[in-house]
Every structure is written in C-alpha cells, then in structure tokens.
C-alpha cells in the first residue's frame, strides 16, 4: 500500500511537471500566433493519441456515450476555462497566471455547497477565506499595479472548478480518456468558430496583449514554432495519462496536495525562458493560496469526500 501511494505521488508530480511545459510553450508563442491556431494544432495532434488511449482503455465504442450532451457541455465549459487561462499569459508573468489559477480548489469548495449540497465545515470555510486573502495580496488592489488580465486567470479557475464538479457526476460511468476526447473535439470546434467569427468581422487587433492573442489572424508558422505547438498535443496526452494513473493507484486524499508542485515550475520556467522575477507579493499570495488548499485537504470532511 505504501509503495502504491509513493508511485501515485511520483506519477502525479511528473504529470504536473509535464503539463507545466505546455504553459511555457504557449506563453512563448503568444506574441506571434493566435490562441485559436495554437489550440487547433494541439487538438489535431492530440486526436489520434487520444483515440489510441481509448482503444486500449475501454474500446472505441465507449466514445458513443449516452452522456453525450453533459460531456459536450462540460467540454464547452472547459473551453472557456482554458481560453481565459491562456489569454492571461501574454499580459502576466507566468508565475502570477498559474498561481491565480490554483484557486481552483477554493472555488470548487465554495461552489460545492450550493451546487452539490455538500457541507464543508469551518476548516474549509477558513481555507477559502485565507485563499482569497492570498489572491488579494497578489492582485495588489490600490497599488496602481493591477493588470486586468489577472481576472482572466481567476475566471478560468472559476469555470474550471465548475467543470470539475460536473466531472463528479460523469466520472462514475465515463473514463478519463473519453472525457478528454470530448474536450479535445470541443476545443477544436470552438477554436475554429472563434477564429471564423473574428475573421468575418475583420477584427485582428484589440489593443491589449490578452485580446490580441485571441483575435490575431492565423499565419503560417515556422517549422520550429509548428513543432513547439504540436508538441503540446503530445504533452497533454502524456500528462493526462500520468495524472489518471496517479489517481487510479493511490487515494486522492494522498496525492491531491501534490498538485501544488505546479507552483514550483511556473516561476522557474518564467525565470529561465522569459527572464521573469516574481514579485514578493506574488510569492506571499501564492504561499497563502497553497497553505489554504493544503489546510482544506487535511480536513476530515475533505478526506471523506475524496474518491478512492
């Protein structure tokens, strides 16, 4: 049992590390290519990998799920979450964008009360409060340094938390690769529709780095950039497999807290690839968010609500 827990933690930490590379790549290309083109290339590369995973996991027939509409609806919500998450990259240091997104567990706890009727207890209520104090420290309201793109990361965390609550209802009968396949399809369709919409209107500039990343016209990428963007599809498939295995072989209550190792990689990639040095308020706010999340996960009610 101890070996399985250690292996699960190793899988999860490696999966988080692999996923963090995708964030760095997307930030690197965000000044030259539109987000819709990046997402479309990633999805096209991911599709055959996901089909192979479904084939070996549950068979290709499992794609035709009776939960088609809920799966598509959840995927649409995740399209909004990831679009707003990546839109924050051109305007924010990588560490800030990722740290604000790590409020997902706090949003999930707060939303579980009205949406799922869960009781969260005083410890988790305090965790939510402390976590959002951390958010305010990072946003530095009134300091004249506020970047509106920070709200994109927070909105992304909110919509992603909603999609996670939906996954609780779907997860019992739908495998992770099938969910990922639906997400991939909706991401691709959404990217094409968004690009077509702004193209039809002739809007290719909006005066802000985040909005420009969304509306910019598609261009022919260089071979190097194409390979970088395409690698995101492979990265996503590998990382999803690692994370899925982590939760399959170890209890969620054991491995979940290690998702915060993502906070180690964002400032490192930001410094190495973009010369970004985190503000003290970023580090302090991120510390409060992590502490709040870990405190909530350590509560008895959290452990009882975790599957596995």
* Other beta carbons within 10 Å of 239: 19
Contacts for 302 with CB less than 8 Å, ≥ 6 apart = 124, 253, 296
Residue-wise pLDDT for 236-261, tens only, equals 888 877 877 787 777 766 677 787 88
Q: What is the mean pLDDT of residues 97-126?
A: 79
Residue 295 has pLDDT above 70, yes or no: yes
The per-residue pLDDT for range 38-48, each reduced to its tens digit, is 999 999 999 99
Tally of domains in the chain: 1
For residue 145, the model assigns a pLDDT of 53
Structure-block tokens of residue 289 = 């968010």
Helical residues (DSSP H) of 88-148, grouped into ranges: 94-101, 104-116, 121-139
Confidence of residue 64 (pLDDT cuts 50, 70, 90): confident
Predicted confidence at residue 285, as pLDDT, reads 87
What CA–CA distance (Å, rounded) separates 175 from 58?
Answer: 8
CA neighbor of 277 nearest in space, from 96, 142, 91: 96
Question: Given pLDDT bands bounded at 50, 70 and 90, which one contains residue 307?
Answer: very low
Nearest to 124 by CA among 303, 246, 308: 303
Which residues are CB-contacts of 123 (< 8 A; sequence separation ≥ 6)?
A: 295, 296, 298, 299, 301
Q: Phi first, then psi: give them for residue 298, nearest 5 degrees.
A: -85, -10
Domain around 236? 2-305
Q: What confidence tens digit (pLDDT) does each residue in 148-184 have?
A: 899 999 999 999 888 877 766 665 567 778 888 888 9
**pLDDT single digits (tens) 194-246:** 999 999 999 999 999 999 999 999 999 999 999 999 999 999 888 877 877 78
Per-residue DSSP letter, 222:
P
Is the model's pLDDT at 142 over the cut of 60? no
Q: Is 144 a residue whose pLDDT tops 70?
A: no
The residue with tokens 């938390």 is 161
Work out the pLDDT band at 88, boundaries 50, 70, 90. very high
In whole angstroms, what is the distance from residue 194 CA to residue 211 CA?
12
pLDDT of residue 114: 80
From the list 254, 210, 262, 246, the residue with the least C-alpha distance to 85 is 210
- Whole-model pTM: value is 0.85
**Which of the 8 DSSP states describes residue 217?**
P
């Amino acid at each position: 049992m101890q070996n399985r827990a250690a292996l699960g933690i190793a899988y999860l930490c490696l999966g988080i590390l692999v996923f963090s590379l995708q964030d760095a790549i997307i930030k690197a290309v965000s000044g030259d290519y539109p987000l819709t083109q990046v997402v479309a290339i990633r999805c096209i590369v991911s599709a055959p990998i996901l089909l192979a995973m479904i084939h070996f996991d549950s068979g290709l027939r499992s794609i035709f799920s009776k939960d088609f509409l809920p799966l598509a609806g959840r995927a649409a919500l995740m399209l909004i979450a990831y679009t707003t998450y990546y839109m924050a990259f051109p305007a924010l240091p990588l560490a800030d964008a990722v740290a604000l997104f790590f409020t997902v567990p706090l949003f999930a706890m707060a939303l579980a009360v009205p949406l799922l009727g869960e009781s969260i207890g005083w410890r988790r209520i305090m965790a939510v409060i402390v976590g959002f104090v951390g958010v305010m420290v990072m946003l530095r309201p009134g300091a004249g340094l506020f970047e509106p793109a920070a709200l994109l990361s927070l909105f992304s965390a909110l919509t992603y938390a909603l999609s996670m609550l939906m996954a609780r209802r779907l997860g019992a009968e739908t495998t992770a690769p099938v969910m990922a396949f639906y997400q991939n399809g909706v991401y691709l369709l959404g990217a094409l529709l968004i690009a077509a919409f702004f193209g039809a209107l002739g809007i290719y500039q909006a005066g802000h780095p985040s909005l420009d990343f969304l509306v910019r016209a598609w261009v022919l990428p260089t071979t190097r950039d194409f390979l970088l963007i395409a690698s995101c599809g492979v990265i996503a498939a590998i990382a999803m497999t690692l994370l899925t295995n982590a939760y399959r072989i170890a209890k969620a209550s054991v491995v979940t807290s290690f998702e915060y190792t993502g906070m180690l990689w964002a400032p490192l990639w930001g410094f190495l690839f973009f010369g970004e040095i985190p503000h003290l308020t970023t580090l302090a706010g991120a510390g409060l968010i992590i502490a709040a999340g870990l405190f909530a996960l350590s509560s008895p009610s959290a452990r009882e609500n975790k599957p596995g």
